[in-house]
């Protein structure tokens, strides 16, 4: 971004952050952390679209952050500077947590109302939903997804897709507040530009102990800053409050 005036960068960052913050405040105000739908007595099938989206954007199991990414002209007729500054946001979700998968499933029939009227299409969607809800990986593994945030004009960093797995393992890990870590055991590339990059970590250590238990305070997801390129360093560390993931005395993760 050497050719972009600092005042332009600052204005873009402030404008991007303000718009995203307003959206997150609006979504977060819809439902308190302790009563996400079913936990207040309402099953996920009855969540509203706003409730489901709020849980997927900013909740005990999801965080969204705004950032700046060096852009590129869409064509020779693009009036922007040669090195335009585009807004972007990243959403990190604890996909292995049931509420996240329930929110994703809840949005499916809302997005596909016309398809749900066709018996064959509905059967296919129902089968996919069962697979998401059951999540065969999620029993023994922590699954974290990274995707473009609301209003983002960019996909997740291409380094996620191009970097060899052996190298990616060195750059991404999770840990608790005591410093105990779990390394990456698998990675699934997004199926589309706005899809999820899926990072998979083992739940248990060699002694059969989970990384996160009700006795812990914080789950930390750490990304090597260089993975995000032009994104601010704040995007490299996401901390989740374990206490907020406790529902009726049980850890929901």
Q: pLDDT per residue over 75-125, tens digit each?
A: 556 555 555 555 677 899 999 999 999 999 988 866 555 555 667 777 777
Q: What is the mean pLDDT of residues 125-137?
A: 86
Per residue in 14-45, pLDDT (tens digit) is: 344 444 444 444 344 333 443 444 445 678 88
Q: What is the residue whose two structure tokens read 């997804």?
A: 145
Work out the end-to-end distance of the chain between its first and last CA atoms, rounded to an integer number of angstroms.
Answer: 39
Q: Domain spans of the chain? A: 6-97+135-251
Q: In this structure, are residues 137 and 96 in contact, taking their beta carbons and an 8 Å threshold?
A: yes
Handedness of CA 252, 170, 189, 49 (dihedral sign): positive
Q: Beta-carbon neighbour count of residue 76 at 10 Å?
A: 5
Q: Beta-carbon neighbour count of residue 251 at 10 Å?
A: 16
pLDDT at position 178 over 70: yes
Structure token pair of residue 55: 């849980």
């Amino acid at each position: 971004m050497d050719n972009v005036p600092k005042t332009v960068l600052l204005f873009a960052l402030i404008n991007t952050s303000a718009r995203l913050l307003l959206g997150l405040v609006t979504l977060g105000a819809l439902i308190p952390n302790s009563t996400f739908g079913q936990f207040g007595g309402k099953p996920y099938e009855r969540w509203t679209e706003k409730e489901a989206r709020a849980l997927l954007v900013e909740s005990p199991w999801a965080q969204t952050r705004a950032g700046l990414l060096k852009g590129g002209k869409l064509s020779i007729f693009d009036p922007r500077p040669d090195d335009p500054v585009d807004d972007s946001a990243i959403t990190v979700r604890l996909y292995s947590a049931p509420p996240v998968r329930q929110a994703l499933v809840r949005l499916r029939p809302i997005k596909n109302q016309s398809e749900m009227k066709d018996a064959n299409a509905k059967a296919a969607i129902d089968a996919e939903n069962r697979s998401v809800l059951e999540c065969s990986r999620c029993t023994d593994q922590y699954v974290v997804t990274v995707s473009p945030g609301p209003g983002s004009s960019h996909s997740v960093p291409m380094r996620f897709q191009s970097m060899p797995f052996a190298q990616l393992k060195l750059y991404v890990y999770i840990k608790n507040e005591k410093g105990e870590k779990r390394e990456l055991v698998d990675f699934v590339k997004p199926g589309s530009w706005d899809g999820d990059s899926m990072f998979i970590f083992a739940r248990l250590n060699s002694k059969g102990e989970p990384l996160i238990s009700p006795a812990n305070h914080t789950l930390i997801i750490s990304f090597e800053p260089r993975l995000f390129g032009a994104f601010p360093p704040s995007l490299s560390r996401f901390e989740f409050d374990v206490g907020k993931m406790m529902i009726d005395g049980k850890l929901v993760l």
